[in-house]
Amino acid sequence: MSEDQLEELIIQVINGAVSTIPSYLDEIKENKEVLKVEEPKEFVYGIVMGMALGMGGAILSAQTETPTVEDQMRIRDIVYKHIPEIRERIFS
């Protein structure tokens, strides 16, 4: 899979995860006694980052074998490149 294809798929995952932010924030608000989340937007940021990093690995696993360390670094670099956009969409 080319770098551009991988990045496009990761961007789709990020966009999908970001689109669920309002429902995550509502869920946290409704279940604050159980979840005990002090910073809901930081918590959601962690969810979005985890989804992006995890799905990047899953995408590569589906294409070939278990992602190598180098593959994981590629995924991390792509996701990290989009951190400013992710944070803007969550915290604005």
User: pLDDT in tens for each of the 92 residues of the chain?
Assistant: 777 888 898 899 999 999 999 999 999 999 989 999 999 999 999 999 999 998 888 887 887 677 788 888 988 999 999 999 999 999 98
Query: Would you say 74 and 9 are in contact if contact means Cβ atoms under 8 Å apart?
Result: no
The whole-angstrom separation of Cα 73 and Cα 6 is: 13
pLDDT, residue 19, reads: 92
Q: Is the model's pTM score more than 0.85?
A: no
- Let me know how long the chain is: 92
Helices in 1-92 by DSSP H: which ranges? 3-19, 21-30, 32-35, 40-63, 69-81, 83-91
